[in-house]
Amino acid sequence: MAVIIKTFATPGGKYVYDRETNSILSVSDEEFAACKRVEANEADDNDWKLLKCYTDQKFLQESRLKEILHPATYSLNQMLESRVAHLTLQITTDCSLRCSYCTYSGNYENQRSHSKEVMSIDVMKRSVDFIMERSHGLKKINIAFYGGEPLLEIDIIKSCVRYVKDKYYGREVTYSLTTNGTIFNDDIIHFLRNNDFNISISLDGPKEIHNLNRIFPDGSGSFDKIMDNLRNIRKSYPDYFHKISFMTTVAPDMDYSCINSFYVAEEILNDNSVRSNLVNDYSLKESISYGDNFHMVNAYQRMKVLLAELDLYSKNKTSKLFTNSLDQVKETYKTLSKSRMVEKMHPGGPCVPGVMRPFVDTKGNIFPCERVSENSEVMRLGHIDTGFEYEKIYCLLNIGQLTEKECISCWNFLFCGLCSAACDEGNCFSKEKRLIYCSREKYVAVEQMATICLLLENGYKFEHSVI
């Protein structure tokens, strides 16, 4: 097995990521050139002589990795029987909007379209029983409500909360809900507030941008309705309003700078958390690409966050849409040196299916989460009445075995974020499809590591030193 490393540079230095020790090494120009040859499997004796100071410290060693196997494989059954921490219920497949980029818009392969299915009270209760029976090893669990638009069936949500309180008195249960923000009324707000729901509302920026994609079935925009509802919530429950978070989906046709300006200027949202994501491109029928404006604004706003962290720019002038970018960098830093390569490991992407955030559709079918295809047979983990299908879960957990040869020799093994959704073909998993997304994962990893090094070069102090 070859020595597996990744070389990269910043304006202030030359670096080598050593996969075997999960470490970043700062090297001289001459050492960097030698490492480039190691990376290309072209190093000679002179190169290794130059790098002896690193090999003596057990860096730049041949990899011990021989087999793709997730570490949770051996404890999978126990985890599925006692440590299911979260349950997402698909209350309905119906929705009050027809967003153009929606997963259920008909623009995705092997995915359902909008319909009017509703989870029955009986299926809801059996779903709750299912997680309660499989979470006795945990102090607290979370139940989330999803759609479609879940607030279209508020009575079922109320029934669920009441059922939990009556049957599982004493269990610590939190509730969360993802909504498009168009259905709120005083009764709904009162109920959500009294039961301390964590609410995430989809809002794509100012009216002219939000209404490009987030529209009612008749084609009219939803912005004004949502903002009226938000003002009402803030007026009636100001303390609770500040707990509401917002999610912005940035589509290719949107003006990113305009979205950013909206969240800076909109007074009603000053104290709320805002996150952004891009349009999901897994299994999208037509490819999408983000233009120069997106990349320029993204780079500029991320730079301001970094400068603010170095006390070179006012934090009050940074965008809430980008503050989580630094959190991602810090998480990457924390993982450095924590995980080291052993003979049996798995790339970093997959969660533990069925344990982390199982999703139950209106009929009681169980899926790994709400982001996978509900039409996919290979993604269906079982049913609330018959339980988990362990062989399927084992396959999803060890999805890296699909590309074992490529993964074993990949420098990005520990930072890869690809899960089974990246290669789902409905009735099987595609090796070729999974490999398509490799370059993007590698780009993100290098960007994160380069950012870490840039911060360190400029005197930033992380919580603990690993480089």
The DSSP call for residue 63 is P
Distance CA 23, CA 466 (A): 7
Amino acid at 61: Q
pLDDT at 293: 86
Claim to verify: residue 82 and residue 110 sit in the same structural domain: yes
Q: Is residue 35 part of a domain?
A: yes
Peptide linkage before 148 cis (omega within 30 of 0): yes
pLDDT digit string, tens, across residues 404-424:
999 999 999 999 999 999 999
The answer on 83 and 53 residing in a single domain is no
Task: Give the residue from 239, 272, 292 where a domain finishes.
Answer: 292
Task: Out of 61-70, 154-163, 303-312, 400-409, pick the least confident.
Answer: 303-312
Tell me whether residue 78 is in a domain: yes
Give the DSSP letter of residue 221. Answer: B
Domain match, 115 and 250 both? yes
Note whether residue 24 is domain-resident: yes
**In a domain? residue 215:** yes
DSSP per-residue string spanning 99-119: -TT-TTSS-BTT-------B-
- Examine residue 161 and state whether it is found in any structural domain, yes or no: yes
What CATH number is associated with residue 140?
3.20.20.70
Cβ-Cβ contacts under 8 Å for 403 (sequence gap 6 or more): 431, 434, 435
Taking only the tens place, the pLDDT of each residue in 360-372 is: 999 999 999 999 9
User: What DSSP element (H or E) covers 161?
Assistant: helix 154-167
Residues 143 and 249 grouped into a single domain: yes
pLDDT the model gives residue 467:
56
- List, for residues 176-227, the tens digit of each pLDDT value: 999 999 999 999 999 999 999 999 999 999 999 999 999 999 999 999 999 9
Is 162 part of any domain?
Answer: yes
Place of tokens 């969660």: 351
Render the burial of 289-321: b for 16+ CB within 10 Å, e for the rest: ebeeebeebbeebbebbbbbbeeeeeeeebbbb
Is residue 274 within 8 Å of 321, Cβ to Cβ?
yes
Residue 402, in any domain of the structure: no
Query: What pLDDT does residue 464 have?
Result: 59
Q: 347 Cβ partners below 8 Å, 6+ apart?
A: 68, 400, 407, 410, 413, 414, 416, 418
Is there a single domain that holds both residue 38 and residue 177? no
Distance set, CA 162 to CA 43, 133, 413, 430 (Å): 67, 18, 45, 43
Residue 109 has a CB neighbour count (10 Å cut-off) of: 13
Please say which residue of 292, 323, 338 terminates a domain: 292
Q: How far apart are CA 169 and CA 250, in angstroms?
A: 42
Neighbours of 324 (CB within 10 A): 14
The Cα–Cα gap between 105 and 117 comes to 16
Q: Report yes or no: 212 and 258 within 8 Å, Cβ to Cβ.
A: no
Residue 366 lies in a domain: no
Shared domain check, 210 and 132: yes
| Average pLDDT for the chain | 94
Specify whether 79 is located in the same domain as 43: no
Domains in the chain: how many in total? 2
Per cent of the chain over pLDDT 90 is 84
Q: Is the pLDDT of residue 465 over 60?
A: no
- pLDDT for the residue 304: 92
Domain span at 44: 5-63
Question: What integer pLDDT is reported at residue 350 of this predicted model?
Answer: 75
Tokens of 364: 């009681």
pLDDT tens for residues 241-299?
Answer: 999 999 999 999 888 889 988 988 888 998 899 999 999 988 889 999 998 888 888 89
Chain-centre distance for alpha carbon 70: 19
Q: Partners of 192 in the beta sheet? A: none
Is the confidence at residue 320, as pLDDT, over 90? no
| CA 27 from centre of chain | 33
Same domain as 182, residue 235: yes
| 431 contacts 437 by C-beta, under 8 angstroms | no
3-state secondary structure of 44: coil
Q: What burial class does residue 92 get, using C-beta atoms within 10 Å of its C-beta: 0-12 exposed, 13-18 middle, 19+ buried?
A: buried
Distance in angstroms (rounded) separating the CA atoms of residues 467 and 447: 16
- Claim to verify: residue 43 and residue 77 sit in the same structural domain: no
CA distance 444 to 455: 17
Q: Specify the pLDDT at position 321.
A: 87
Reading the block at residue 135, the tokens are 């979470």
Please say which residue of 245, 267, 292 terminates a domain: 292
Confidence band of 43 (pLDDT split at 50, 70, 90): very high
CB 61 within 8 A of CB 48: no
Give the tens place of pLDDT for each residue, 130-142: 999 999 989 999 9
Concatenating the DSSP letter of every residue in 334-373 gives: HHTTTS---SEE--S----TTTS--EE-TTSEEES-TTS-
> Is there a single domain that holds both residue 59 and residue 76?
no
- pLDDT tens-digit profile of 435-463? 999 999 999 999 999 999 999 999 998 87
- Do 106 and 131 fall into the same domain? yes
In Å, what is the CA distance from 276 to each residue of 200, 238, 281? 12, 24, 15
The whole-number average pLDDT for the span 11-28 is: 97
The backbone torsions φ and ψ at residue 298, rounded to the nearest 5 degrees and listed phi first, read: -60, -50
Query: By three-state DSSP, how is residue 73 classified?
Result: helix
Same domain? For 57 and 136 the reply is no
Q: Which of 246, 250, 248, 247 is nearest to 279 (CA)?
A: 250
Burial class (CB in 10 A: 0-12, 13-18, 19+), 130: buried
Q: What are phi and psi for residue 294, nearest 5 degrees?
A: -60, -50
